[in-house]
Amino acid sequence: MKKIAISFSFLLFSAAAVTAADDPIAVRQALMQANAASAGAASAMLKGEMDYNPVVAKAAIATFHSTAEAMGDFFPEGSNVGETRAAPAIWENPDAFRETLAKFRTDAAAAVEASGRDGPADLEAFRLAVMPVLSNCSACHENFRLEDD
Protein backbone atom coordinates (compact mmCIF):
# COMPACT_ATOMS: atom_id res chain seq x y z
CA MET A 1 0.00 0.00 0.00
CA LYS A 2 2.80 2.40 0.90
CA LYS A 3 4.51 1.85 -2.45
CA ILE A 4 1.24 2.41 -4.30
CA ALA A 5 0.60 5.71 -2.52
CA ILE A 6 4.13 6.93 -3.14
CA SER A 7 4.02 5.82 -6.77
CA PHE A 8 0.70 7.61 -7.26
CA SER A 9 2.09 10.87 -5.87
CA PHE A 10 5.24 10.55 -7.97
CA LEU A 11 3.19 9.89 -11.10
CA LEU A 12 1.04 12.97 -10.58
CA PHE A 13 4.01 15.24 -10.08
CA SER A 14 5.97 13.70 -12.93
CA ALA A 15 3.10 14.43 -15.28
CA ALA A 16 3.03 17.99 -14.04
CA ALA A 17 6.75 18.45 -14.58
CA VAL A 18 6.55 17.23 -18.17
CA THR A 19 4.06 19.91 -19.16
CA ALA A 20 5.38 22.69 -16.92
CA ALA A 21 7.42 24.53 -19.52
CA ASP A 22 4.64 24.57 -22.08
CA ASP A 23 1.40 24.99 -20.17
CA PRO A 24 1.27 26.43 -16.64
CA ILE A 25 -2.52 26.16 -16.65
CA ALA A 26 -2.32 22.40 -17.24
CA VAL A 27 0.21 22.10 -14.43
CA ARG A 28 -2.02 24.05 -12.05
CA GLN A 29 -4.91 21.80 -12.97
CA ALA A 30 -2.82 18.65 -12.40
CA LEU A 31 -1.68 19.96 -9.02
CA MET A 32 -5.27 20.77 -8.04
CA GLN A 33 -6.42 17.32 -9.15
CA ALA A 34 -3.75 15.77 -6.95
CA ASN A 35 -4.88 17.99 -4.06
CA ALA A 36 -8.51 17.06 -4.67
CA ALA A 37 -7.67 13.35 -4.57
CA SER A 38 -5.76 13.85 -1.33
CA ALA A 39 -8.56 15.95 0.15
CA GLY A 40 -11.03 13.24 -0.80
CA ALA A 41 -9.02 10.55 0.96
CA ALA A 42 -8.44 12.79 3.98
CA SER A 43 -12.12 13.69 4.18
CA ALA A 44 -13.21 10.07 3.90
CA MET A 45 -10.94 9.09 6.80
CA LEU A 46 -11.97 12.09 8.89
CA LYS A 47 -15.67 11.34 8.36
CA GLY A 48 -15.23 7.63 9.10
CA GLU A 49 -16.21 6.67 5.55
CA MET A 50 -12.84 4.97 5.16
CA ASP A 51 -10.73 3.25 7.79
CA TYR A 52 -7.83 5.35 8.98
CA ASN A 53 -4.60 4.33 7.28
CA PRO A 54 -1.37 6.11 8.25
CA VAL A 55 0.21 5.40 4.86
CA VAL A 56 -2.68 7.01 2.99
CA ALA A 57 -2.65 9.88 5.48
CA LYS A 58 1.08 10.39 4.96
CA ALA A 59 0.64 10.30 1.16
CA ALA A 60 -2.15 12.89 1.34
CA ILE A 61 -0.03 15.18 3.50
CA ALA A 62 2.97 14.69 1.20
CA THR A 63 0.84 15.63 -1.80
CA PHE A 64 -0.42 18.78 -0.09
CA HIS A 65 3.15 19.70 0.79
CA SER A 66 4.43 19.12 -2.74
CA THR A 67 1.60 21.15 -4.20
CA ALA A 68 2.20 23.94 -1.70
CA GLU A 69 5.87 24.08 -2.63
CA ALA A 70 5.26 24.04 -6.39
CA MET A 71 2.03 25.96 -6.89
CA GLY A 72 3.36 29.52 -6.87
CA ASP A 73 5.59 28.86 -9.87
CA PHE A 74 2.67 28.31 -12.24
CA PHE A 75 0.93 31.69 -12.31
CA PRO A 76 3.06 33.69 -14.73
CA GLU A 77 1.69 36.82 -16.38
CA GLY A 78 -0.58 35.87 -19.25
CA SER A 79 -1.67 32.57 -17.72
CA ASN A 80 -4.92 34.14 -16.61
CA VAL A 81 -6.49 33.55 -20.01
CA GLY A 82 -7.59 30.24 -21.40
CA GLU A 83 -9.31 27.32 -19.75
CA THR A 84 -8.59 28.31 -16.16
CA ARG A 85 -10.53 28.93 -12.98
CA ALA A 86 -7.77 31.12 -11.55
CA ALA A 87 -9.38 34.39 -10.48
CA PRO A 88 -8.10 37.78 -11.65
CA ALA A 89 -7.37 38.55 -7.97
CA ILE A 90 -4.19 36.46 -8.30
CA TRP A 91 -2.70 39.00 -10.67
CA GLU A 92 -4.51 42.05 -9.29
CA ASN A 93 -3.34 41.43 -5.72
CA PRO A 94 -0.22 39.27 -6.00
CA ASP A 95 0.96 40.08 -2.47
CA ALA A 96 -2.22 38.63 -0.95
CA PHE A 97 -1.90 35.57 -3.18
CA ARG A 98 1.74 35.06 -2.16
CA GLU A 99 0.77 35.38 1.51
CA THR A 100 -1.95 32.77 1.04
CA LEU A 101 0.51 30.40 -0.63
CA ALA A 102 3.09 31.03 2.10
CA LYS A 103 0.57 30.05 4.78
CA PHE A 104 -0.31 26.91 2.80
CA ARG A 105 3.41 26.02 2.56
CA THR A 106 3.94 26.63 6.29
CA ASP A 107 0.94 24.57 7.35
CA ALA A 108 1.75 21.75 4.92
CA ALA A 109 5.36 21.63 6.15
CA ALA A 110 4.11 21.48 9.74
CA ALA A 111 1.78 18.60 8.78
CA VAL A 112 4.70 16.72 7.23
CA GLU A 113 6.71 17.23 10.40
CA ALA A 114 3.81 16.15 12.61
CA SER A 115 3.14 13.05 10.54
CA GLY A 116 6.57 11.61 11.21
CA ARG A 117 8.24 8.91 9.21
CA ASP A 118 5.33 6.48 9.12
CA GLY A 119 2.35 8.82 9.03
CA PRO A 120 0.21 10.17 11.86
CA ALA A 121 -0.17 7.55 14.59
CA ASP A 122 -3.95 7.70 14.69
CA LEU A 123 -6.96 9.51 13.30
CA GLU A 124 -6.80 12.29 15.89
CA ALA A 125 -3.12 12.98 15.11
CA PHE A 126 -4.04 13.08 11.42
CA ARG A 127 -6.93 15.46 12.12
CA LEU A 128 -4.63 17.82 14.04
CA ALA A 129 -2.04 17.75 11.26
CA VAL A 130 -4.29 18.04 8.22
CA MET A 131 -7.10 20.39 9.27
CA PRO A 132 -4.93 23.55 9.07
CA VAL A 133 -3.82 22.46 5.60
CA LEU A 134 -7.39 21.91 4.44
CA SER A 135 -8.44 25.30 5.77
CA ASN A 136 -5.87 26.85 3.43
CA CYS A 137 -7.54 25.14 0.49
CA SER A 138 -10.88 26.71 1.40
CA ALA A 139 -9.40 30.17 1.93
CA CYS A 140 -7.54 30.12 -1.37
CA HIS A 141 -10.56 28.88 -3.31
CA GLU A 142 -12.79 31.56 -1.78
CA ASN A 143 -10.45 34.39 -2.78
CA PHE A 144 -8.51 33.20 -5.79
CA ARG A 145 -10.66 30.73 -7.75
CA LEU A 146 -13.55 31.39 -10.08
CA GLU A 147 -16.69 29.39 -9.42
CA ASP A 148 -18.06 26.99 -12.01
CA ASP A 149 -20.62 28.55 -14.31
Beta strands in the chain (DSSP E): none
φ, ψ for residue 86, nearest 5 deg: -70, 130
Could you count the other beta carbons within 10 Å of the beta carbon of residue 136? 19
Task: Work out the burial of residue 69: count CB atoms within 10 Å of its CB; fewer than 13 is exposed, 13-18 middle, 19 or more buried.
Answer: middle
Distance CA 13, CA 8 (A): 9
Whether residue 140 is annotated as binding a ligand: the answer is yes
Residue 55: CB atoms within 10 Å: 15
Detail the residues annotated as belonging to a binding site: 137, 140-141
Detail the residues annotated as belonging to a binding site for heme c: 137, 140-141
